[in-house]
Amino acid sequence: MKKIYNKLVRDKILQICEDDGEVPEYYTCSQSKFKNELKRKLVEEAKEVERAPLAEIKNKIADVYEVLLNIAKIFKIKWSEVETYRKQKNQKRGSFDKKYFLVSSKK
């Protein structure tokens, strides 16, 4: 039975498919396609974090982190720059320590 994925996968997935007796159909993404697919992958992985049971959260966060590192690399952004922006944003807008959930706002 043919399984349809149509998504970016980790480097060793093709070998894992073959080891399971499957014949993967794939191609190597162009640079432009890779950039777009990494962004899509981030959304996919973030949704998995949302749905994950507590025991799987670390594993799913690791997937998100891996995608983020690759996005930074493909866009030639140093991770230290991301950390700088994160810290600046925390100073200006805060973090999530207070657990606020904004329902609405009026003028």
85 pLDDT above the threshold of 90: yes
| Ranges of each domain in the chain | 30-85
Q: How many CB atoms lie within 10 A of CB 83?
A: 10
pLDDT tens figures, 32-84: 999 999 999 999 999 999 999 999 999 999 999 999 999 999 999 999 999 99
**pTM, to two decimals:** 0.89
Q: Is the pLDDT of residue 1 over 90?
A: no
- pLDDT, tens digit, 9 for 90 and up, residues 11-20: 999 999 999 9
Answer yes or no: are the C-beta atoms of 70 and 38 closer than 8 Å.
Answer: yes
* CA angle (62 as vertex; 38, 34 as ends), nearest 5: 10
